Structure 1
Amino acid sequence: MKSKQILSLLVAAAAVLASNAYAHGDEKHPTAQKYDASKVEDTPFGRQGDPKNASRTIRVGMSDKMRFNPESITFKKGETVRIVVANQGAVLHEMVLGTPQALKEHAELMKKHPGMEHDEPSMTHVKPGATGEIVWQFTKAGEFQFACLIPGHFEAGMVGNVSVK
């Protein structure tokens, strides 16, 4: 095995072992946001979508190999979608939508404050064997990402790509 492969395996193993210790996975995190049109805010990558307007459902799996399946998703500008996220692993995972820079910054913040609580429409925290969902309207064309920002998971490569055309 090459040293880079060994390092990747060690990072992934450490992430799996450590993720259960972080308060980030406590019971206070919901698996889906309630839609309230008066509270919807625009972001650089879209806004919370009204579930009644979802044109399709996309299913994404998360595994303890620190990967999403599929790793890339394409949407149409203006499209509202329901993303159903299944945690097929044995540890807590999450899906967070965002710009590459915002996700990187958030991942760094999570390393400094692993017990930080947050509840945004662009994310879902999913316990092992469970599912969560995000309903999102992609209002801007561009290249965005989704990631698991639990400390160690992002660094192990648990990142996917979103293309909005």
Structure 2
Amino acid sequence: MHKALLVALLSLASTTALGSAGHGSDNSPLDTSQPIDRTITLEAGDMWFTPDKLEIAPGQTVKFTITNTGKLEHEFVIGNPKAQAEHRAMMREMASSNGHDMSASHHHDNGQDSPASMPSVTVLPGETATLVWTAPEDIEALEFACNIPGHYKAGMNGDLQIKG
């Protein structure tokens, strides 16, 4: 009996550790190696972000601080509209198959070309998370969004203009 309990506890602990690698709510990913040019504070409520429009200069490194004041888990993802749509489809598929944990690692990078390479962070209710990101030089318009099923469609997205 004790062996079975120990195996179950170790399995649960390793699943939790592996599941939080890319969509952490523990203030990750936070790259402290690059100087921060600007800090932007956002509030994630249930089905909205405030502010819902951002303007960032090309090449500017921004530290986003996102506080979830709602009752639901949210994510903050930066990407172009096509990649965001692909990411939403992936999230719907994961949610419908075996009750996939939305906080699991499924993307984490600084590129903009695919859902797997979009900078992102998950924010649990009542918590704050940070994400450091450098605005690209060659893209004018991106968007930030929560792609947990139903959240984007309910209005949880915003414009991110690269101007300067």
TM over 0.5: yes
Structure 1 stretch 114-123 or stretch 127-136: which is displaced more?
114-123
TM-score (norm 1): 0.70
**What's the TM-score, normalizing by structure 2?**
0.70
Amino acid corresponding to residue 130 of structure 2 in structure 1: E
> How far apart, in 1, do the equivalents of 2:94 and 2:75 lie?
16
Contact 1:51-1:82 within 8 A present in 2 as well: no
1:34 and 1:157 map into 2 onto residues whose CA distance is 26
Percent of aligned positions with the same letter in both sequences?
34
State the aligned residue count: 125
The alignment's C-alpha RMSD in Å is: 1.9
Q: Which residue of 2 aligns with 1:108?
A: 89
Which residue of the other structure, out of 118, 122, 125, is the alignment partner of 2:122?
125
1:53–1:59 CA distance, 2 compared to 1 (3 A): same
Q: Report the AA paired with residue 54 of structure 1.
A: I
Rg comparison, structure with higher value: 2
Q: Indicate whether 1:139 and 2:136 are aligned.
A: yes
The residue number in structure 1 matching 2:39 is: 57
Q: 1:133 is matched by which residue type in structure 2?
A: T
Deviation at 1:52, TM superposition (A): 3.6
Unpaired segments of 5 or more residues in structure 1?
1-25, 36-49
The whole-number CA distance in structure 1 between the counterparts of 2:33 and 2:75 is 20
- Whole-angstrom distance in 2 between the partners of 1:69 and 1:27: 28
Partner Cα distance (1:132, 1:97) in 2: 14
Query: 2:151 is matched with which residue: 146, 150, 153?
Result: 153
What's the counterpart of residue 13 of structure 2? Answer: none
Q: Which residue of 2 aligns with 1:33?
A: 29
**Structure 1 counterpart of 2:52:** 71
* Matches of 1:27 and 1:101, distance apart in 2: 25
Q: Distance in 2 between matches of 1:127 and 1:27?
A: 14
Given candidates 65, 72, 80, the residue that maps to 1:84 is 65
Confirm or deny: 8 A CA contact 1:93 1:126 kept in the other structure: yes
Counterpart code for 2:29: Q
Change (3 A) 1:56 1:34: closer
